Amino acid sequence: MNETRVSRKKIIVTGLILLAFILILTFILIWQNPALLPTSNQGLMKRVIEVRAEGEVLHYENQSFWNESAFSNILNSEKEFKSEQINSLNISLQKYGKVMLNPNVEIDEENKSTTLICDVDGAMYSKDSYEFHWLLADLPFDLYAFEQSENELVYKGEIDNVPTTIKLLFPFPINHCHEHVWSATTQ
């Protein structure tokens, strides 16, 4: 009976020591490399998203402007950053049944910006009609928060405390509802 208690105590103590070691190691790794922190908006100064409709495909560009420190971290882990950006959007698109085509991340050292570029397939639900749930689902607003002109919708505001502009551009006059845009001439 006493041997069982001693054995349990040894297992618990060993587990606690191992847990403490893991926590200390994690702290040291993050302290030495802040890029490991899981805060995707850390250092993000401004974001400009443009989505241009062309036939069945939407051309997507997300340009992010970074502060000096964050941009330096991006340059130090460029390959990982590019992969994370592409994978993150791809997972989001797949969740809504959309397909990412031709993904690329461009880095502009002069402007300290990164631009995720891809085509989005599967957003057109009928001729000249597109759904944007894939873009808006995690945002606290819908297309009625956008300013409308004849063939574009533009949002200017903050998302997660980051100044953000979102432009949706179409080659025809448009109408819209909460998450859908369609040609004003094909009603």
Whether residue 89 has pLDDT greater than 50:
yes
Residues 6+ apart with CB under 8 A from 36: 29, 30
- Phi first, then psi: give them for residue 73, nearest 5 degrees: -65, -40
Is pLDDT larger for residue 6 or for residue 169? 169
Q: How confident is the model at residue 30 (pLDDT cuts 50, 70, 90)?
A: very low
Q: Which amino acid is at 104?
A: N
Instruction: Give the span between the Cα atoms of 75 and 91, in whole angstroms.
Output: 24
Instruction: Give the span between the Cα atoms of 30 and 5, in whole angstroms.
Output: 37
Whether residue 29 has pLDDT greater than 90:
no
SS3 content of the chain, % helix, strand, coil (to 5): 35, 40, 25
Q: How confident is the model at residue 27 (pLDDT cuts 50, 70, 90)?
A: very low
Residue 36, pLDDT score: 41
Instruction: Give the span between the Cα atoms of 16 and 14, in whole angstroms.
Output: 5
Q: Is the separation of the CB atoms in 64 and 113 below 8 Å?
A: yes
Average pLDDT, the chain: 88
Average pLDDT of the segment spanning 15-27: 56
Q: Is the separation of the CB atoms in 142 and 135 below 8 Å?
A: no
Average pLDDT of the segment spanning 143-162: 97
